[in-house]
Structure formats: C-alpha cells, structure tokens
Amino acid sequence: MPEKPKEKPEPIFSIITNDDRDSIAQLLNIISKEGFDEIDSSDIDSHIFVLNKNGGVGIKTEANGKLVGVCLAPVNPTRNFISLELIAIHPTYRNSLVVKKMLESVLDTAKRNNMDIVTYARESTSFKLFHNPRVIKWIENKGFEVSDAELPEFYSEEQFSHQEKYYKFTLKKL
C-alpha cells in the first residue's frame, strides 16, 4: 500500500520577542542560500529594538517547533509610515497562506493607523511578490494602491552588496 504523503503542520503565528533573534538568524541563513547575505543574530537586534520602541508588526510563524517565517515592519514615526523591513518564509512554506497572513497583518495595522507602507526589494526577492497581479489586486481590495520606482544604480552598488536592481514599493492607503 502506498505511503500517504505527509501534510505540512498548520503554522502558528505569534509576536516576535528578543529571544527570537537566534532562530530568525538561522531562518535567514537557510534563505541566504537563495542570494541573501549571511546574517548573524546581532543583525536582528536593531530591527527588534526599533520595533519595540516605535511599534508596528513583528510576527513569527512556527511549525513543528521550528521557525518557518518572520515579518518585521516597524513604524517610522517621523514620516508616519510602516517600513516593511523583512518578510522571510522558509522555502517549504512559500506556497501556503503564511505570506498572505503576514502581509495582511501589516496592511491591517497600516489601515488602522492611517499609514502607508514602504518597502525595498531586489529583483530576485520580494520584487516578484509586489509585481504579481493577484497580489496587487488583493492589496487593492484591502484599500491600498501599489506603486514602485526603480532606485538609481548607485543605490544598489553603494548601499547593498548585490549587483542587481533595487525597487522602492509604496503601498499607499486609499
């Protein structure tokens, strides 16, 4: 009799704490094989510090006791927007509802606080997410308009270590 395929366990969402920095770094290093820079837990500290200080969205997703997704989106109080700093999902969970639930949490927080959302994306990563017609339609249905602008080449060369184009995405509240 053929063996029944294993189902992925249902992800559990919860708030990020300072204790999560090592597991976040481990997840990002799994993903780093896809083109991200190597990360250590101290790199996560500043994101969590800003999130704790200014508020915003900081959620993690776990399955079978392992971190499979993280979203860091602190409020920028001086400019009155939410900065979507990081949304990272383990490859096994990319086609699940994890990304949608994380992004929905950011959109709902921005809407409640009457804020726009700003994020930066490389062509090889979240650029694809924000250029997906289904995702754009879904974001529009949530009350936001998606716009993007290619950043100048010097931005990619000087600010980041990658030789690819970067884009700034603004999800403007309607």
Q: Is beta strand 81-83 parallel, antiparallel or unpaired with respect to 66-76?
A: antiparallel
78-133 tens-digit pLDDT:
878 998 888 888 888 877 788 888 899 999 999 998 999 998 877 766 777 888 88
C-alpha 137/C-alpha 128 separation (Å) is 14
Name all domains of the chain by residue range, CATH numbers in brackets: 12-173 (3.40.630.30)
A 10 A CB-CB count for 18 gives 10
Torsion angles phi and psi, residue 123, rounded to 5: -55, -35
| pTM exceeding the 0.85 threshold for the entire prediction | no
13-51 tens-digit pLDDT:
888 888 888 888 888 887 766 555 556 566 688 778 888
Cβ atoms of 99 and 129 within 8 Å: the answer is yes
Alpha helices in 3-132 (DSSP H): 21-31, 41-54, 98-112, 127-130
